[in-house]
Structure 1
Amino acid sequence: MEVMMGTQARKRKKCIKVWVDECEKEKIEDNAKGCKHSASSYLRNLGIGYVPKSMVDHEAVSDLMRLNGDLGRLGGLLKMLLSNEEMFVGHEDRMVEVSKLMNGLSDVRNDIREKVRNI
């Protein structure tokens, strides 16, 4: 089989057999799919010391960033609501509740950013 590594092509001529049970085989194949690799390239990369990055992590980061954007837009809408003073005249309790909600949204956004950094 010919595989492109950078700009250099090489032929692989040696095979290493690894005996596994059905459950192990499925787990290896699932892990390989999660990294967008074949089972063969996944095991080869692990065997030579390279740890392939899971694509699942990238999907999780993308989902978290999308959620972060949604929270930002929601926060913007709440700020717009707060700028409508007429809605709060005589209803200061509403202002307190909206303020608590804004602080909560800010905390959630910070948590999302921290989780993204840790992935």
Structure 2
Amino acid sequence: MAEQTKRGTPPIKVYCLPEQRNQLLVLAANANLSVSSYLLRVGLGYRVRGMLDHRRVEELVRINGDLGRLGGLLKLWLTNDERTEAFGEATIRALLGKIGDTQDTIHEVMQQVVLSGTGQQDL
């Protein structure tokens, strides 16, 4: 007996308004799924995770790299490296301010990820 595939079965039609169709297209794209796969998963009660999470994680990785570079500069200064002799107190204070700003940015992005509910929207 041949294995049955989804393509070999009749489709289910969904009637919707143009605005609803556009919204479904956006939601499916955010989840990196076709509209058919998206509707099937939602209809069967599966949790659909959006690609938004991956974008936010990439953003956090970039911000973390910035923080690492700033920390490296501070470490050079603290070890009295000759390359940092020109660094004055104002430069170090600016560097510490930049590190604080970067930490705030990380906190904001993390908060957005948590509040977004992993990119899933309620229908």
Same fold (TM over 0.5): yes
* Matched letter for residue 43 of structure 2: G
Distance in structure 2 (CA, Å) of the matches to 1:64 and 1:110 = 6
- Which TM-score applies when normalising by structure 1? 0.67
Q: Which has the higher strand share?
A: 1
Change (3 A) 1:29 1:102: closer
1:10 offset after TM fit, Å?
A: 3.8
Larger RCO: 1 or 2 (CA < 8 Å, sep 6+):
2
> How many pairs were matched up?
108
Q: Any gaps of 5 or more consecutive residues in structure 1?
A: 1-8
Structure 2 unaligned spans of 5+: 119-123
CA deviations 1:4-46 (Å, max 9, x no partner) are xxxxx64232432221111110110111111111101100000
Q: Which residue of 2 aligns with 1:5?
A: none
Kindly report which structure 2 residues correspond to 1:100-119, keeping only aligned pairs within 5 A, or say none: 100-101=96-97, 104=100, 107-108=103-104, 111=107, 114-115=110-111, 118=114
Structure 1: 4+ residue segments shifted above 6 A = none
Of residues 24-33 and 109-118 in structure 1, the stretch that sits farther from structure 2 once superposed is 109-118
TM value normalised by structure 2 = 0.65
